[in-house]
Amino acid sequence: MCGIVGIVGRNDATEVLLNGLEKLEYRGYDSAGIYVSQGLNKGSLVKVKGKIADLRAAVHQEDVGNIGIGHTRWATHGQPSKANAHPQSSADGRFYLVHNGVLENYESLKAQYLNDIKLQSQTDTEVAVNLVATLVQKEKMSVLAAWQKMVQLVKGSYAFVLIDRENPQQLYVAKNKSPLLIGTGATFNGVCSDSLALLNVTNSFIELHDGDTAVISSQEIKIFGQKNEAVKRKTYSVTLNQDDLGKGTYPYYMLKEINEQPAVLRFLEKTYLNETGKAVFDSRLLDQLAQAEKIYFVAAGTSYHAGLVGKALIEKLAQIPVSVELASEFGYHLPILAKNPFFIFLSQSGETADSRQVLLKIKKLGYPSLTITNVDHSTLSREADFTVLLHAGPEIAVASTKAYTAQITVVALLAQALRQKLDPDVINFDLKQQLSLAANGIQTLIDQQELIEQLAKDYFSKTRNAFYIGRGQDYYASREAALKLKEISYIQTEGFAAGELKHGTISLIELGTPVIALITDPETADLTRGNLKEVEARGAHTLTIASENLAQSKDQIIVPQIDPLLSPLLTVIPAQLLAYFATIQRGYNVDQPRNLAKSVTVE
Ligand code: F6R
């Protein structure tokens, strides 16, 4: 949520900021702005309501400088508008601030310190920048002291970067709960919410911890810990292929990412399975998992849906009970936990605030944890005891696709490793073969785009609502299928347990309501077909996605044969494509749906 970038020591600062914001646009895209300095008390502030392309168009030739800050916003306090866009400036015009996060006590701080100031925006950020100005003006503090005092006064989450017009050679930085990294170069330094923003100028980064503040010039980086003591933080390199960052020849990132799924699965198979088919993970991780009386998946959104599929994989393969928990609920309503619990955090971004508050709580209780994430060095990865990477490459489209299939695959691999550890003689689940079938099957389904595009037109061009139904793994895949369709096409869609419809929700079925059934499990196939008949009798427009061995002549989409435990890897593909085409046909932006952002760093 919200993307921040700052740079000092580059004559092309404006371009570095705009380029960085383009890479961060997935984090929010309702308004944006930059401030670049042309020297003492000279600078350009450009802000727009809209996207980075609008910001680029609003930037003039003279808006140059060698230091600057930029921001792309996902509104929390105050609607998207030019006035509420960042950078926010202090009333005296001296300080410019960008912020990602939420300040819980901004109203009381405003009442206590800023009575004489007329604020121009509805943002909490404007309070923070005016606090710095007030502490400098009235309490005669140095800017650094005022900066650190402001950070102590605010409560909540923040990644902050500030420029002082009277000393435009350095960036003041602070971080708590929201992600922020320092990017380093020989003659410049920068700061960003995600390394993607500065990857075209550096691949060397320094991680900041919660409570850190820093002062960054072109030649020097000073970092301070919570008590303002000088601290050193870890430097690391990011090795990412620049090609991974663009759309290539695809019209949207989502389509590119859907197409990457077979390659991701094959890469995971190669990474985590050896030649003999043995799943290989850190032995200390497997030891701790094997001792768990119960495993808890904690996640949100699509990752939560991957956890639901993962539950059956671990329970069936490793015979360890699993509970799947919504992070935003679990942390505040901890149930009675099993003895020796083990927590697995599933998170594409590794930054989700809802998941992180649970991680912090269970760490305090002394329980072991693993983060399964796509982003190395992300917060959840750093803070858990173990990390397993998804290796899916950057996922830029807001609607998650390849991260979901990668999460299921990694959990399957982990389940297999546990099974091999707990019962080395029993290896009757050939995961290598299954994953290879899955990768090929995904490709077969992707190759049916023309059919799926037509079905999207037939089923979704006019409808207001829709249902996906299924049982077992098909039900869990239905939950994800429904999320895909609703979040980008705005068709109100529910993923429902097929047998549960008749207990109330069937009253929503009207003439023409699309009901899409996923049928891949021989044990329940007939039951789900019966439920389809029930909705057809009430006028529903039904569509069936069935596996080869269960297919009937009228089924519209046939998915290749695979073990039903892993069927969501395949059934989700037509659902992703149906969502994609329905959204295009309805005229919406596939990659940037309204009201949403990727990487949800507020609770
Ligand atoms: C939906 C989607 C979200 C995320 C959720 C958790 O397509 O992407 O539902 O899955 O916000 O994000 P992560 O996985 O980054 O923790």
Nearest atom within ligand 1 for CA of residue 600: 11
Nearest atom within ligand 1 for CA of residue 305: 10
Q: Distance between CA 379 and CA 348 in Å, rounded? A: 12
Q: In the structure encoding, which two tokens stand for residue 12, read together?
A: 């092309």
Sign, Cα dihedral of 251, 253, 254, 255: positive
Q: 482 Cβ partners below 8 Å, 6+ apart?
A: 466, 467, 468, 493, 494, 495
Element spanning 86, H or E = none
Nearest atom within ligand 1 for CA of residue 403: 14
Establish whether residue 487 lines the binding site of ligand 1, counting it when its CB lies within 6 angstroms of any ligand atom: yes
Q: Whose CA is nearest to atom 8 of ligand 1?
A: 400
Q: Is the pLDDT of residue 242 over 70?
A: no
Map out the domains of the chain as residue ranges.
3-241, 253-445, 448-590
Q: Distance between CA 474 and CA 440 in Å, rounded? A: 20
Same fold, 253-445 and 448-590: yes
Count of residues in the chain: 603
Establish whether residue 349 lines the binding site of ligand 1, counting it when its CB lies within 6 angstroms of any ligand atom: yes
> Is 82 a catalytic site residue?
no
pLDDT of residue 120: 96
Q: Is the pLDDT of residue 445 over 80?
A: yes
Q: Distance between CA 193 and CA 209 in Å, rounded? A: 13
Establish whether residue 400 lines the binding site of ligand 1, counting it when its CB lies within 6 angstroms of any ligand atom: yes
Q: Is the pLDDT of residue 427 over 70?
A: no
Report the CATH number of the 253-445 domain.
Answer: 3.40.50.10490
Which of 376, 600, 601, 602 maximizes ligand 1 atoms within 8 Å of its Cβ, making it the mutation to test the pocket? Answer: 600
Q: Whose CA is nearest to atom 7 of ligand 1?
A: 399
Contact 162/96 with Cβ under 8 angstroms? yes
Element spanning 232, H or E = none
Contact 369/355 with Cβ under 8 angstroms? no
**What is the residue whose two structure tokens read 């989502």?**
254
Q: Is the pLDDT of residue 61 over 90?
A: yes
Establish whether residue 18 lines the binding site of ligand 1, counting it when its CB lies within 6 angstroms of any ligand atom: no
pLDDT tens-digit series, residues 181-233: 999 999 999 999 999 999 999 999 999 999 999 999 999 999 999 999 999 99
> Is 192 a catalytic site residue?
no
Q: Is the pLDDT of residue 423 over 90?
A: no
Establish whether residue 125 lines the binding site of ligand 1, counting it when its CB lies within 6 angstroms of any ligand atom: no
pLDDT of residue 246: 86
Among 393, 512, 496, 521, CA closest to 463: 512
Establish whether residue 387 lines the binding site of ligand 1, counting it when its CB lies within 6 angstroms of any ligand atom: no
Contact 495/472 with Cβ under 8 angstroms? no
Would you tell me which CATH number, out of the four given (3.30.70.270, 3.30.460.40, 3.40.50.300, 3.60.20.10), belongs to the domain 3-241? 3.60.20.10
Establish whether residue 328 lines the binding site of ligand 1, counting it when its CB lies within 6 angstroms of any ligand atom: no
Question: Could you count the other beta carbons within 10 Å of the beta carbon of residue 228?
Answer: 15
Q: Distance between CA 602 and CA 88 in Å, rounded? A: 20
Contact 513/541 with Cβ under 8 angstroms? yes
pLDDT tens-digit series, residues 364-406: 999 999 999 999 999 999 999 999 999 999 999 999 999 999 9
**Class of domain 448-590 (CATH, top level):** alpha beta
Q: Is the pLDDT of residue 424 over 80?
A: no
Query: How far away, in angstroms, is 305 Cα from ligand 1 center?
Result: 10
The structure's pTM equals: 0.93
